[in-house]
Structure 1
């Protein structure tokens, strides 16, 4: 039995993954990660680096060796836990899948160094050392470790039997680095990251916060978002804009798995890409019949309805989006993975509501856009317009001021600020901002006309 109050070695990174996320045994379905617009992956692929003639060792929780995307990629598998190489956590398999799909020609070495069992802490640590030495002897050029501890090596060494174990790990890592092997350790695993200054600390892209003493050297494209293998091929073609090919694959998959809402959604996106909007709407409806709470499907259906000028029905879809997001207590969320700007998605939805004179909903959307991206000048300006419509002119002026600070060339924000000031009877000030709008765009007729109107008001007041 392990000692009381002794820290444990654990997995870092996307450690919330479960083995059932990788393989649904009841349905006999395997899953693979998808990369959602990750720049690091795109740059890697553009560089033509595929990992050819490179052995990469993953020292983790083992692997599901029968996974269809891994079974032909394993260069070697070794167990250092005494429980066999089978992955019971899911983490090791997920890391292997990310590597396999990022560098498709690399040979993957799997060393199982983690099992959630009741062995002394020193044994947990020695497993890591044995795994590193095995990876070196097996010819690895890269060693990836997502296993470790938050405590530093000097603190861990104080526990019973751990001093020698810690030395063994650091000695093995030093040996790897002396052999010019790149050693990668997940951010948060201060040990073994503190074994050598040349260790590459890997953080997850988009991870919001790391402890103050953790400074990732690089950011990994590790994706915890997993989809069934039967969906992945079509998805890959869809992401590349190959809509016809993707549609063929999704149709085949739908025939086999009509209960999967994502298949219907992605099929709809292919149809949208092919400008078959009515067919796309029907596919989105199929997806929503299976999963009515899917925010992305409601949003994408709304966008599709706008394309065929069914604006009222589009707004109904956006109503569902707002209801689902607000009921979940979320200030803002990504509406679709097929977007470059989450903030702009909310901004655009606000514009549709504003055009429909649904000002409360428009304000809600603009507020979400601003919360996600405080530098979104368009959202600031439009939020100010809503306040002006509500005759909250002082509030609107504050929005316009920030918008002009963020984007000094935004004609509408200067004009709107002048208009709000004129509504408050502050005519001389308003003229100043109409002039700013005109200076940027001499053809801004609305600013020219308002300046004439306000100048007339000033003259009338002076005559009185």
Structure 2
């Protein structure tokens, strides 16, 4: 097993000091290989040393301007720092460098979502769901985008699939309730708000939705 492989194993086992030693050795052995810098950047991101993490990703990109995973790693750091415009730029660069992975499209979609750019978010989140239909989080946020763009029937379909995969997803049940209420399907809306409250009794939005429906039925 190479030093790089040992480092990745240590990182996966949360043995971060040992991982750092292995990645350092790997970089010393092959200082022109961007992979060592990328892995060390990922490690530093995990432990919260974000500025040094960015420096390692920058070094990897300096060595190989087509290093897609370096752009992705740096983008995730900018996302954590709430610098969403920079995150978008780098996630897009990762996609342009052929990193066509569900996580990349999901994070790009979430960056657009945070910026309020819903059509762009919708496109990226749709791609994430296409690549990994079991990603509940991606599907939920895809549904949110559809709902906020008033594509309610399509949003309903996504939220239904979310609760099929995760029957304890209170927010999905709440949004189902909102969508049913929008379509004047009052009993289904009430049932959905009640389900959200069964899962999360302090879900204030669901409680308000339930109260609104019950008052309308009086």
State the TM-score bracket (shorter-chain normalisation). 0.7 to 0.9
Deviations 1:210-233 (A, max 9, x none): xxxxxxxxxxxxxxxxxxxxxx42
Counterpart position of 2:198: 439
Deviations 1:271-316 (A, max 9, x none): 4355432122122112223333332111111122334444432232
Aligned-partner Cα distance in 1 for 2:197–2:132: 28
Given that 2:84 and 2:114 are in contact with CA atoms closer than 8 Å, whether structure 1 keeps it comes out as: no
Determine if the alignment matches structure 1 residue 449 to structure 2 residue 208.
yes
Determine if the alignment matches structure 1 residue 314 to structure 2 residue 73.
no
Given that 2:3 and 2:23 are in contact with CA atoms closer than 8 Å, whether structure 1 keeps it comes out as: no
Deviations 1:15-51 (A, max 9, x none): xxxxxxxxxxxxxxxxxxxxxxxxxxxxxxxxxxxxx
Deviations 1:238-283 (A, max 9, x none): 43132331243144235xx43x322332342344355432122122
Q: Which has the higher contact order (CA 8 A, sep 6+)?
A: 1
Please give the residue correspondences for 1:303-342 in structure 2 after superposition, counting only pairs within 5 Å. Answer: 303-325=76-98, 332-333=100-101
Counterpart position of 1:427: 186
TM-score if structure 2 supplies the norm length? Answer: 0.81
**Distance change in 2, residues 1:319/1:419 (3 Å):** same
Q: Find 2:53's aligned residue among 277, 280, 285.
A: 280
Quote the RMSD (CA, aligned, Å).
2.7
Determine if the alignment matches structure 1 residue 407 to structure 2 residue 166.
yes
TM-score if structure 1 supplies the norm length? Answer: 0.41
> How much does 1:344 deviate?
5.4
Aligned-partner Cα distance in 2 for 1:355–1:308: 12
> How much does 1:353 deviate?
3.0
Aligned-partner Cα distance in 1 for 2:159–2:47: 40
Q: Find 2:72's aligned residue among 291, 299, 302.
A: 299
Given that 1:377 and 1:407 are in contact with CA atoms closer than 8 Å, whether structure 2 keeps it comes out as: yes
Please give the residue correspondences for 1:194-273 in structure 2 after superposition, counting only pairs within 5 Å. Answer: 232-241=2-11, 242-254=18-30, 257-258=31-32, 260-273=33-46
Q: Find 2:123's aligned residue among 337, 343, 364.
A: 364
Counterpart position of 1:169: none
Spell out structure 1 runs of 4+ moving beyond 4 A.
Answer: 343-346
**Distance change in 2, residues 1:399/1:271 (3 Å):** closer
For the residue of structure 1 that corresponds to 2:168, the secondary structure is coil
Structure number with greater Rg is 1
The unaligned stretches of length 5 or more in structure 1 are 1-100, 102-231, 334-342, 460-464
The unaligned stretches of length 5 or more in structure 2 are 12-17
**Distance change in 2, residues 1:415/1:288 (3 Å):** same
Given that 2:190 and 2:213 are in contact with CA atoms closer than 8 Å, whether structure 1 keeps it comes out as: yes
**Distance change in 2, residues 1:427/1:360 (3 Å):** same
**Distance change in 2, residues 1:378/1:309 (3 Å):** closer
> How much does 1:444 deviate?
1.5
Given that 2:23 and 2:36 are in contact with CA atoms closer than 8 Å, whether structure 1 keeps it comes out as: no
Aligned length: 212
Determine if the alignment matches structure 1 residue 351 to structure 2 residue 124.
no
